[in-house]
Amino acid sequence: MSLFDYTLKELQEKLHKQEITVSDLVDASFERIHEVDDNVQAFLTLNQEEAKKQAQQLDEARGSDASILYGMPIGLKDNIVTKGLRTTAASQILDNLDDPLYDATVVNKLKNAHTVTIGKLNMDEFAMGSSNENSSYQKTRNPWNTDYVPGGSSGGAAASVAAGEVLFSLGSDTGGSIRQPAAFCGVVGLKPTYGLVSRFGLIAFASSLDQIGPITRNVEDNAHLLQAIVGQDKMDATSANVDIPNYSEATKQDVKGMRIAVPKEYLQEGVNPEVKEAVMAALKQYEALGATWEEVSLPHSKYAVATYYLIASSEASANLARFDGVRYGVRSENADDMMEMFTKSRAEGFGDEVKRRIMLGTFALSSGYYDAYYKKAQQVRTLIKNDFEKVFEDYDVIIGPTTPTPAFKVGEKVDDPLTMYANDVLTIPVNLAGVPGMSIPCGFSSEGLPIGLQIIGKHFDESTVYRAAYAYEQATDHHTKRPNLGGDK
């Protein structure tokens, strides 16, 4: 069987009728991985033996009250800690972390829902990148055209879902790292409100920005996966104590009367004409569904990229100080004394992009520059957050493109970090403000590459985001398209 052919509900119905088993699903996932992953290179570590053993146990134990996610094969980004399963954050400095001692909170929640972890997914090292070319192990490719990048940093997570290797995956989003690869790979990716999902067990990049979220092939599956991982966690002081609604119920509501804001800054110069055309067509579709839209302004968005890279790099500088060859990480074997061991361990273990951001962050936090850079960036962050809050006084959601362009070719921008950073210009403001944002497919470029539509909601109002996304998805067929990877589907 092919996981491509079914939704989560359809697979659960087949399990309930005993037309298939959990072992069938897990076998199908590994068969697909062995068929296409040499080209896609989404997985860093496979959990084949343990996954098959778990599938047999679930087949024997299944009851009528099983979770909607029961037995479903899932992939996890490799910065989410998994007990007993290698976790590297795609970095050589964690190459020896073969047997972590605990599970991330989201992994525990998935185990409680009885999903089956298929393996760990490739990413930009320590989640620093927008193309998956910064992994120290391999370059993941876009399933729609393997000459192109899948986006990053959750490129492996998005590519694995788009390629039909797993039904869904978890990624992390610091400045667009779920939504941008979801757009490039033609899948659905949600960055939840900051604090809605526990970060305990997520290897930190920038602690005030990082958020774990679901990547799926359709909106309803996404809602079910989010439902399983949300909630306050005593192990994460930043997790929020809020009421959790039934997200899948939101998909049953239409969008008649919904008020949509379209920021003029999101459709200005620099946005590919095909992307703009796809977004405008989506807005017309919303009009046909009974929603209204108006152009608004988020005036401080133009400062978002500079603000983000100062804050994120500063937090990365502090978070990555622990990786020194003593407390965490691989220790250099070429050192003659303690100081040389520290410096060589970090020099050999970290890649160029990680070093670049550590140096930038250390500079921004240093004496004499803190007020001019880091403090000023935090002040601008507040202005960006206020822009969103002002718009949400009059509108239900904000809609625009997820990325300025479709996917670019492997190697095209890797040597130009400033251009690469600018690729996140439309996703970064969402992280700075802490609001939820989702990317859904809204069309294809003339080269057959997916285009993403970004839907942004109010704090902790994922339900409205799902409502808007599902209504559009059901009125179009973009989400039903599949990449012609290896000649099938």
Question: Which active-site residues does the annotation give?
Answer: 77, 153, 177
Matching residue, tokens 């620099």: 270
Whether omega for the bond prior to residue 153 falls within 30 degrees of 0, making it cis, is yes
Contact of 78 with 172, CB cutoff 8 Å: no
Choose among 342, 363, 377: nearest CA to 208: 377
Rounded CA gap, 124 and 132, in Å?
A: 5
Q: Which residues contact 62 (CB under 8 A, 6 or more apart)?
A: 15, 22, 70, 71
The span from the CA of 339 to the CA of 358, in Å, is 18
What is the C-alpha to C-alpha distance for residues 200 and 435, in angstroms, rounded to an integer? Answer: 20
Here the tokens at position 478 are: 């973009």
In whole angstroms, what is the distance from residue 242 CA to residue 66 CA?
A: 26
Strand order in the sheet with 450-456: 43-46, 116-121, 73-77, 168-172, 212-216, 188-191, 437-444, 450-456, 397-401, 259-263, 292-296
Q: Closest by alpha carbon to 196, among 233, 222, 223?
A: 233
